[in-house]
Each structure stands twice: as C-alpha cells, then as structure tokens.
Amino acid sequence: MEIFETPLPGLGTKVTFKGQSGEFSVISKFDGSKEIYFVHNENIVVLPLQEEEARILAMLLLETYYQKKEGKNEINLGKSILKWIPVYNDIDMPLRDYMNNALFLIREGKIERNMEIKPKKGDIIVAGE
C-alpha cells in the first residue's frame, strides 16, 4: 500500500492512501486539528476533529494507551478519562447546564454535539475528566 504525503502551504500536511474500502486522506493542520476525508464510490465523507478528539480516535484505532475499568463506564486515556453515562429519566435542562464536562450526547446511535439539547431517557452522555 502506497502512502503519499503532500505539503499544504499555510495549512499543514495531507497524507493519502488507497485501501480496500476506498481512499483515505488526513489533513493535519498547524493548529493541531485534523480532517479525515474518505472517498468511496464517488461519495465523500469528511470528519473534522479537534486535536484532543484526534488523539483519542488514534488511540482507539491503535487499541493502545487506554484501559477499560472493569465494572465502570469509563476509559482511562492517560491524561484524561472518558466516561459514558446512561440517562434513565428525561432531564429538563440543557446538557451544558446538566453536566459541565459533557463532550457530546449519543441519541438513537447518532452523536449530538449541541450542548443546548435536553437529555432524554435512553440517551448516553459522553464526558471527560
């Protein structure tokens, strides 16, 4: 598999490779953020990530630097802990006010990053420490 690296003046670096699933490109920006581009059958999916999100995703993909604590809904990522908290009852306040360390909410299998959303029974809140 060939991997191509291309400098992007003023922006960062792009690394591209073609796999069996399609073509992957990762743009690493000077500010630490990343963008992942995946092209498959002329469809393009773009995943923008902040620096910490990119590190967590990389660790999860490499299956390294984290340990699931037995009996707890959390992952130790070295400098931080990622927790997922099930919501058992509807909450009548925005996620931002309910839990100040919340990163996002998972509702019906979809990530909701809107911190003004009110958690509902069945949601999962993902929070960091």
Tell me what percent of the residues of the chain surpass a pLDDT of 70: 86
| Helix, strand counts (H, E) of the chain | 2, 11
State yes or no: pLDDT of 29 exceeds 80.
yes
Predicted TM-score (pTM) above 0.75: no
What is the average pLDDT across 82-101? 88
Bridge-based pairing state of the strands 34-40 and 23-29? antiparallel
Query: Which domain covers residue 71, as residue numbers?
Result: 66-129
CA trace torsion 56, 62, 64, 69 (10° rounding): 70
Residue 43: the pLDDT is 87
Buried b or exposed e, range 25-39, using 16+ CB within 10 angstroms = bbbbeeeebbbebbe
pLDDT for residue 77: 63
- One domain, residues 24 and 50: yes
Q: Are 61 and 90 contained in the same domain?
A: no
The answer to whether residues 83 and 115 belong to one domain is yes
Domain final residue, candidates 10, 34, 65:
65
With a cut of 70, say whether residue 67 has pLDDT above it: no
Q: Extract the tokens encoding 81.
A: 């802990």
* Residues 58 and 75 grouped into a single domain: no
Question: Could you tell me if 3 and 49 lie in one domain?
Answer: yes
Taking the C-alpha atoms of residue 71 and residue 76, their distance in angstroms, rounded to an integer, is 13
Task: For residue 126, give the CATH number of its domain.
Answer: 3.30.70.1450
pLDDT for residue 93: 93
Supply the mean pLDDT for the chain. 83
Same domain, yes or no, for 30 and 86? no
Domain co-membership, 73 together with 108: yes
> Pick from 65, 97, 118: which residue ends a domain?
65
- Mean pLDDT on 62-83: 62
